[in-house]
Amino acid sequence: MNKQASETSSAQQAVDAAIVSRRSIRAFLPTPVAQEDIARILEVAARAPSGANMQPWKVYVLSGAARQRLSRRILDAYETPKAPDAPARTASYTYYPRQWTAPFIERRRKIGLDLYQLLGLERGDTAGMAAQHGRNFQFFDAPVGLIFTIERVLEQGSWLDYGMFLQNIMLAARARGLDTCPQAAFIHYHDIIRDELGVPASEMVVCGMALGYADPAKVENRLSTEREPLAGFVKFIAT
């Protein structure tokens, strides 16, 4: 193999490995992540393309006491029983479809059931499921919690750009042996996040993300998710 061909093949392997080895990790080791590594990951990720190079992303990086404080405040709100007539929490935006239809509803059910089965939670164990959901707000014990915001004036196109930035973070993390879990769960607590982190009114919360080293001993990290085969979502059109 000539030099150029071998460089191409190792670049391909490295990129594919980062993409394929990324999984949502839901239990982390306490091992800290160096601030310079976080900074470099974010710097690399910000090479993501964006319409007119608008770069719509803003990131709040939480660790140590700041991470604990936000987690505590959200968990307090999450765990406080609501009065029956209390209004439901409003999210910063609507992430999931208002009406669940096939095939999405089945996929959502499957990942929920698979995760609960791994954790040994019985069907109908709503307290167990609620406790597992609550682990989101501790960033699944990751040493670093990221909160992402976007200026409200920006439109759908910028949200498309945002997804590329988020994926870049997750891949740059993989390249350094780090793991992540993107977390929409935080959008229901945008009011607490805003207050705790001093997020300006012009910004809205997009999601959170746990960042750290996966705990290989935890069963929830054994969850493997399926993907639709190519034939289900691709049409090759040549003639």
Ligand X SMILES: Cc1cc2nc3c(=O)[nH]c(=O)nc-3n(C[C@H](O)[C@H](O)[C@H](O)COP(=O)(O)O)c2cc1C
Site residues for ligand X per CB under 6 A: 23-24, 26, 111, 136, 181-185, 207, 225
CB of 173 to ligand X, least distance (A): 13
Rounded to whole angstroms, how far apart are CA atoms 18 and 20? 6
Q: How far is the CB of 113 from ligand X (least distance, A)?
A: 12
Cis amide bond preceding 103, omega within 30: yes
Q: Which is nearer to ligand X, 8 or 222 (CB)?
A: 222
Give the 3-state secondary structure of residue 163: helix
Helix %, strand %, coil % of the chain (to 5): 50, 15, 35
Give the tokens for residue 86: 């209390």
CB of 145 to ligand X, least distance (A): 12
- Which one, 54 or 111, has the nearer CB to ligand X? 111
Nearer to ligand X, 63 or 183 (CB): 183
If the CB atoms of residues 10 and 222 are measured against ligand X, the closer one turns out to be: 222
**List of residues 6+ apart from 154 with CB closer than 8 A:** 54, 56
Distance CA 138, CA 75 (A): 8
Q: How far is the CB of 78 from ligand X (least distance, A)?
A: 12
- The strand pairing partners of 207, in sequence order, are 148
Gyration radius from the chain CA atoms: 19
Smaller CB distance to ligand X: residue 26 or 194?
26
Please, what is the minimum distance in Å from the beta carbon of residue 166 to ligand X?
7
E-strand ranges in the chain read 58-63, 144-151, 179-183, 203-212
**Smallest gap from residue 1 Cβ to ligand X (A):** 32
Helix (H, G, I), strand (E, B) or coil at 55: coil
Measured from the CB atom, is 33 or 169 closer to ligand X?
Answer: 169
